Amino acid sequence: MADFKRKTLVEDLKGGSSVPESSVSFARFLEQSSILSAWLRSGKERPAEMFLMMVEDLSPLERQSLGKLTDRTVEIPDLLLKRLAEMEKENRHLKSLLLTDDLTGLYNRRFFYMQLEIEVSRARRTGRPCCLMMIDCDHFKRINDRCGHDEGDRYLKKVARTIRRDLRTTDFVCRYGGDEFGVIMPDTHLVEGVLIAERLLEAVSEIRAGRHFSSTASIGIAIFDPVSDDSMESFFKRADQELYRAKELGRNRISHSGKPVRSQSKLTEVTPEEKRALCRPERGKSAKAAPVRKGGMKAPRRKQIERKPT
């Protein structure tokens, strides 16, 4: 942070007049790519009078164009630079405290809601779906009661680590509260979400709490449909309801709102007998196989496919 090769202070102090539009937009552009920058304001009515910027390295061309836009381009002393860098670092730390959870180091509930809102807007804009997974540790209270709160905390940390490890870098893992975690998975289809959840469920079941307990988790998943007029609130509610359903159904399972992804292989299997019959030309009615009645043993009926969209 402190080892800038060159430092630039750009000033525009044209007797209190406002900064020309071109230099403002140019400064903004530079601001985006620089490490540290600040608009310094003085007076009440006037717009920014000075734009302070630190850049790691300025090419002669950049320096030249900056010089054209502003009155002065000067070097600032190392000490000031160092102090500014420290402040920036401290700022970031404070910001992170606001958004992360102390115990697990994951994002906290505040961040969760902020990001969920962002991702929902993003999904609407890009038309890409977004999945939300709510994870709750099964019988966490039991761990707390029998092994003590320290062990409970250790367990939560392990769970947090496991979730973090098993998810992709683009997912947002948050501690929603207590033993509940929320994972926002942008640009993710339900099929993928469920696959990830399955993996996660397995990984969590391998975590040991204390000496004896190995605990499980329940997961609820919902998908945000970018085309419908779905809201963030209902998106979250659906995920939460699915989690509740997973608990109701007996824990240690995943519940989701989508169509079940079925494997057809067993269903469509053509039996050797059928195959043989197909492969030889028709020869009267010699085969003795009786037609399988609907609902009979050979033809298990599966009707759950036409589930109403929830």
Is 286 a binding residue for another protein by CB under 8 A? The answer is: no
Distance CA 14, CA 7 (A): 22
User: Of 92-111, which residues contact another protein (CB under 8 A)?
Assistant: none
Q: Please give the full DSSP string across 278-303, using - where no structure is assigned.
A: HHS--BTB---PPPPPTTSSSS----
Minimum distance of another protein from residue 184's CB (angstroms): 18
Answer for which of 79, 94, 278, 297 binds another protein (CB under 8 A) is: 278
Is 289 a binding residue for another protein by CB under 8 A? The answer is: yes
Q: Sign of the CA dihedral 296, 299, 303, 306?
A: negative
Is 127 a binding residue for another protein by CB under 8 A? The answer is: yes
**Which stretch, 55-63, 153-161, 199-207, 294-302, contacts another protein (CB under 8 A)?**
294-302
Name the residue nearer to another protein (CB basis): 5 or 266: 266
**Which stretch, 7-15, 143-151, 160-168, 287-295, contacts another protein (CB under 8 A)?**
287-295
Is 261 a binding residue for another protein by CB under 8 A? The answer is: yes
Q: How many residues would you count in the chain?
A: 310
Answer for which of 79, 94, 279, 297 binds another protein (CB under 8 A) is: 279
**Which stretch, 11-19, 178-186, 230-238, 256-264, contacts another protein (CB under 8 A)?**
256-264
Is 272 a binding residue for another protein by CB under 8 A? The answer is: no
Name the residue nearer to another protein (CB basis): 94 or 227: 227
Site track 179-208 with another protein (rule: CB under 8 A), x = hit:
----------xxx-----------------
Residues that bind another protein (CB under 8 A): 127-129, 189-191, 223, 226-227, 258-259, 261-262, 264, 267-270, 273-275, 277-279, 281-282, 287, 289, 291-294, 299-302, 305-306, 309
